[in-house]
């Protein structure tokens, strides 16, 4: 899948789940997540559909989720540990 297609899918998820999906773009945004309650998935390559599938799975189950760059070519997906939330 191309980077453009990944961005479009991520934007669609962001629109569909505005309260439960966060795209972490700065250190101040990561400070708003309780990392003690976070499970990290990945890293996934930027052009990998696996990151989007992981986000979709969590969001469709009613969980919070976040995505963060992990270097120039990869991303991490964060989901809360079972039975918890992590947005502050």
> How deeply is 20 buried, as exposed, middle or buried, from its count of CB atoms within 10 A (0-12, 13-18, 19+)?
middle
Q: CA-CA distance, 33 to 2, in Å (whole number)?
A: 29
Flag whether the pTM goes above 0.75: yes
**Runs of H (alpha helix) within 1-88:** 3-16, 27-30, 49-60
pLDDT in tens, 18-27: 999 999 999 8
Residue-wise pLDDT tens digits, 7-21:
899 999 999 999 999
31 alpha-carbon distance from chain centroid: 15
Q: What average pLDDT score do residues 44-61 get?
A: 93
Q: Quick check: 60 pLDDT over 90? A: yes
What is the predicted pLDDT for the residue at 77? 96
Confidence of residue 3 (pLDDT cuts 50, 70, 90): confident
């Amino acid at each position: 899948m191309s980077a453009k297609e990944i961005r479009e899918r991520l934007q669609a998820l962001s629109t569909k789940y505005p309260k439960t999906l966060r795209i972490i773009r700065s250190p101040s945004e990561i400070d708003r997540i309780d990392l003690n309650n976070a499970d990290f998935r990945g890293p996934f390559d930027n052009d990998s559909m696996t990151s989007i599938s992981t986000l979709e799975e969590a969001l469709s189950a009613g969980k919070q989720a976040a995505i963060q760059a992990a270097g120039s070519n990869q991303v991490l997906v964060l989901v809360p540990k079972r039975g918890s939330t992590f947005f502050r």
